[in-house]
Structure 1
Amino acid sequence: MLSLGAAGAQAQTQVQTQVQTEAHAPLRGSAGRIGFVATERLYAESTLAKAADIRIAAQFSLRDRDNRETLARLKKLSEKFDGDAASLDAPERTRRAREVMELDKEVQRQDQAYRDDLQERKSYERSRIAERAYALIVQIAEQEKIDVVFRDALWSRPGIDITDQILRQLDR
């Protein structure tokens, strides 16, 4: 019985070794070329991204200025209230405290709306760049017979990075 168990264990070990070897072996009959794209570079370095940043800055500059003016008004009102609070009667102190709190809420609401709208606009522009980049990635991968393209990499040989090619095509 022991010899049968040992034979079974040996057979199982041989099968596991064969499966591991086959799992790490390249596909027969194909070179298996790979490539990768550093997507953050596309969003930072492409002419499309830079133009989008300029458009967004222009679109949001007025709102940003208005938000800063409202914040300055709040700071001034708050400082005036803090300086005058000791000499005010209770109803006036309550009224002015409420005025400061309401303006503070307005500043927070404006700031949150601004950040949300800005993030939405940036996401929209990034998605436009991503759509164009995807089409170019497919085109270049087919031209160069690349089997798989990864997004970003911790490390790679310089020859498999196709980011520069994508950037050149995006900038046309």
Structure 2
Amino acid sequence: MKVSTLSVIAVALMGLSQAASAETKIGFVNSDRVMREAGPAVRAQQRLEKEFEKRDQEMQRMAKDLQAMQEDLERNGVTMAESDRRNKERAFNDLNRDFQRKQREFREDLNQRRNEELASVLDKANRTVKQIAEAEKYDIILQEAVYASPRIDITDKVVKALSEAK
């Protein structure tokens, strides 16, 4: 019984040493860089900026109006008639409430659209990584690591392939 157990262990150890001696090809992709530099990511960012540009300008205009109203109230509030001051404060509070609501909606809409665009880019990036891995016979490609040697970093290949693809 001891002899058969030892022979099983010996065979297992020989198999492990053979597997360890086989060349394992490992790659690394910096996802953050891909999401910043790849053509589809840049185009997605430009689409978002264009799509939300008018709303952003409106939000900036409202913020300036609020600032001007607040400065007017601080400067002239003491010398105004009580009813005028109350009316201006009410108008300020109404505009501020409207601004807060629009700002919240703007952020929610922007975040939702950004997530949609990034999901599309991430899907394309993952397909590209898989194509590179299969073409160049990688055993594993890592996307998150504390440290990765530049020798195994294939981020440039992925960015280039994504940027060249339509």
TM-score tier after normalising by the smaller chain length: 0.7 to 0.9
For 2:136 and 2:45, locate their aligned partners in 1 and report how far apart those are by CA, in whole Å.
32
Q: How many residues align?
A: 150
In terms of mean alpha carbon deviation, does 87-96 or 43-52 score higher?
Answer: 87-96
For 2:34 and 2:24, locate their aligned partners in 1 and report how far apart those are by CA, in whole Å.
25
Q: Does 2:104 correspond to 1:112?
A: yes
For 2:18 and 2:91, locate their aligned partners in 1 and report how far apart those are by CA, in whole Å.
72
**What residue number does 2:67 align with?**
75
Q: TM-score, normalised by structure 1?
A: 0.76
SS of 1:95's partner is helix
In terms of mean alpha carbon deviation, does 89-98 or 159-168 score higher?
Answer: 89-98
**What residue number does 1:54 align with?**
46
1:77 deviates by 1.6
Read off the aligned partner of 2:130 and give its amino acid letter.
V
- Gaps of at least 5 residues in structure 2 are 1-8
**What residue number does 2:19 align with?**
28
Q: TM-score, normalised by structure 2?
A: 0.79
For 2:17 and 2:114, locate their aligned partners in 1 and report how far apart those are by CA, in whole Å.
41
RMSD of aligned residue pairs (Cα, Å):
2.3
Indicate conservation of the 8 Å contact 1:26/1:32, yes or no.
Answer: no
SS of 1:97's partner is helix
For 1:88 and 1:75, locate their aligned partners in 2 and report how far apart those are by CA, in whole Å.
18
For 2:134 and 2:104, locate their aligned partners in 1 and report how far apart those are by CA, in whole Å.
44
In terms of mean alpha carbon deviation, does 41-50 or 26-35 score higher?
Answer: 26-35
Consecutive aligned runs of 4 or more in structure 1 exceeding 6 Å deviation: none
> CA distance change for structure 1 residues 100 and 27 in 2, over 3 Å: closer, same or farther?
farther
Indicate conservation of the 8 Å contact 1:137/1:166, yes or no.
Answer: yes
